[in-house]
Chains A and B, each alone.
Chain A
């Protein structure tokens, strides 16, 4: 019963798929193909991301994170956060648990926003594809504007968020 409650959302979605399969089989087929494709991608990338998060929680002491990307790390902290985000990895939603652990360990909020922003929008393989399809001037301009936006968003959020707004990790 608890498990059904926990998995309520995916179960409801499964029912919607079932409904689609009956009334709109073509759409259902297309949706299922996308979903299966995604599951394949996630199955490979989820285990390492979660194990790395566990390693981070067990091995890296709070003082270390605070010293690298904490409150008083200034430009150095921003650069480290930025480069951590640009390392080629999976989709953005996999960065959330990592970002959560880093925040609990004393990372500065604005640095975590930079980390997430870089992870989402400023990745090396992504920039290569962007240059190829949209041209170098487009890519360069979007890169600069996005970087600036992410820094500003980080600063604003830091003013508005205090530690107790964060969820607790048991």
Chain B
């Protein structure tokens, strides 16, 4: 909620300045924004649809059982896959990770899960490609995936 209020307050200040300085440029701004939104609308809708599908098939209880102590050596691998394809808000994923840790999941597993979740986005890749290009998207996600595994390994050694 704080986020929404902050961003709208910032927007109102910027827009007021823009209108005050030049009406034409403000109109131009809205045209540009509308065009960009129209261009990205299909990807945005697809993201919503895919996230719903994935989380419908993989509710938090299922994720817990895939990443928990009973999953054994497969847990970090499952964590990397689930973290890379799903789009769970960070504020939901931390309590989930915390409860997993309490119930016996390893530091490596939950770190792989959190880090891939935050930095790697398969579902959002089409949108990223549209805005930043294929090469940028592949490199950023690929390197972030590798980094997630390294970060998890280091944290596992230090905190494990």
Contacts and interface: CB of A to CB of B under 8 A. Distances in A.
Nearest to A156: B143
A68 interface: no
Interface residues on A, range: 35 or more
A7 B41 CA distance: 8
A35 B51 contact: yes
Interface string B36-66: 1100111111111111110111010000000
A28 B49 CA distance: 11
Interface residues of B, number: 79
A99 interface: yes
A52 to B, nearest CB: 6
Contact of B52 (A32, A50, A149, A152): A32
B133 interface: yes
A154 B128 CA distance: 16
A33 B48 CA distance: 11
Interface of B: 2-4, 6-8, 10-11, 14-15, 18, 25, 28-34, 36-37, 40-53, 55-57, 59, 87, 89-91, 94-95, 97-98, 101, 107, 110-111, 114-115, 118-119, 121, 124, 126-136, 139-140, 143-144, 147, 150-151, 154-155, 158-159
**Shortest beta-carbon contacts, A-B, top 4:** A31-B56, A35-B52, A133-B98, A13-B49
Interface of A: 6-10, 13-14, 16-17, 20, 27-28, 30-36, 38-39, 42, 44-46, 48-55, 57-59, 87-93, 96-97, 99-100, 103, 109, 112-113, 116-117, 120-121, 123, 125-126, 129-130, 132-134, 137-138, 141-142, 145-146, 149-150, 152-153, 156-157, 160-161, 165-167, 169
